[in-house]
Chains A and B, each alone.
Chain A
């Protein structure tokens, strides 16, 4: 469904990604793990068209994504839950969801999607008139995910959805990821919470200093010595 072939990218003369190749099949959940500064966020931003690619190729559903601007990529069916959630703090929860449905094909279905998101996250429905900035961390994450779902994506990118949340809430976020999968969405998720993310994804990649160092099924990675020592503290 999504395919990155030898993608390199960076900021100005600084290179953050080197020859990254990665595939996500329809219906899969795929994880990307790696330490701080490895380039995980950069990779997500390249997929979404926020950071230009210096070399390589990207395709989605068999069509090239090269050179498309971010809003076109949303129209193709990729939604991105950004690092640190990035809600619009002075808009209400409902307006945050509404802006998620900005693209023409989503506007036509807004009522039905809004009902779907409120069904997935009843808490958001209770707080629909509240400013997003006043939500708790967990609720903000629900709102950020809900906002991304409003565009009706086929593929959902999630950048560290559990970061900065209390342990109990982290558990809830991973439950959410399971439910989103159950809704039939394909998921590419970046996480530092390695142990927990490997419980929800089918496969994962290890990204270190801008390069893919390891790839495999969740079961393989859970038993990999390097991963166990460096990322699971076992």
Chain B
């Protein structure tokens, strides 16, 4: 096999891990709260800026990352309290407009604060050589931490009372109160976790990409497409779809160009939506 192709496949796999993490976060929020956070990737962007600025201010990377995760988790709670909660019973179009408004707000606000410069955190991580294959350590690290995040979420959902309630709530929202569950609290915890996952995603992406206010415009549609492809709210579907899409982008990018790969991915998405409108793993 062509070693450049192999390298593309490996890079696709590594990218898939980070996308899968973000898809988990978005799906979690949609599954529980029944609102799509269109601005999810923009929270990731905020996390990237947080790591960037704290690192520039002299914090070690690990501390900057932990602070960014905590900060975006709190931001997630604020998004819920200030923007989602007031429109919880509004028609879906209003909810979409509210989170869409947040997207423009975050993009404009970060532009106002930091300008439109592309900023690189400047952490130089080694390139690993395996035979003739080169793998970026930053990507490997991102993949590893994304998996750790996904496993931690899985254990939380399986083993804790809040986790069981989070899995139950999308199956029968109305009777959660009869189980002694305060829905509002579940929504807050979910927003906190969703925010933390976006923050973690930001920490992982800032090692590989420059940060700028419109970064969400690249990743946002991608994550949203992955979630729809896997079936909105279906975490396993989103996980699988992440790796399919990342392979298309990576392998397509190898044969043609990244732009063509995106065109291919979105075309496939549209076609699949005709064939399997409720997601590839629809029940």
Contact = CB atoms under 8 A, between A and B. Distances in A.
- Grouping DSSP codes into helix (H, G, I), strand (E, B) and loop, the B interface class, with mixed when no group exceeds half, is helix
B90 interface: no
A132 to B, nearest CB: 10
Given A98-B161, A99-B161, A107-B161, A88 B178 contact: no
B131 interface: no
B195 to A, nearest CB: 23
B177 A70 contact: yes
Among B171, B178, B182, the most chain A Cβ lie within 10 Å of the Cβ of B178
Contacts of B182: 69, 71
A106 B172 contact: no
A166 to B, nearest CB: 24
B5 to A, nearest CB: 40
B126 interface: no
Range, interface on chain B: 10 to 19
Interface string A48-63: 1110000000000000
Contact of B181 (A71, A90, A107): A71
A100 B179 contact: yes
B174 interface: yes
A74 B167 contact: no
Interface in A95-121: 95, 98-103, 106-107
Contacts of B168: 88, 91, 95, 99
A86 interface: yes
B190 to A, nearest CB: 15
B175 interface: yes
A185 to B, nearest CB: 16
A94 B69 CA distance: 33
B178 A102 contact: no
A99 B165 contact: yes
Contact of B171 (A49, A50, A90, A103): A90
30 contacts: A48-B178, A50-B178, A69-B177, A70-B177, A71-B180, A71-B181, A71-B182, A74-B177, A74-B180, A75-B180, A82-B178, A88-B167, A88-B172, A90-B167, A90-B171, A91-B164, A91-B167, A91-B171, A95-B167, A99-B164, A99-B179, A100-B179, A102-B165, A102-B179, A102-B181, A107-B161, A147-B179, A148-B178, A151-B179, A151-B180
Interface of B: 161, 164-165, 167-168, 171-172, 174-175, 177-182
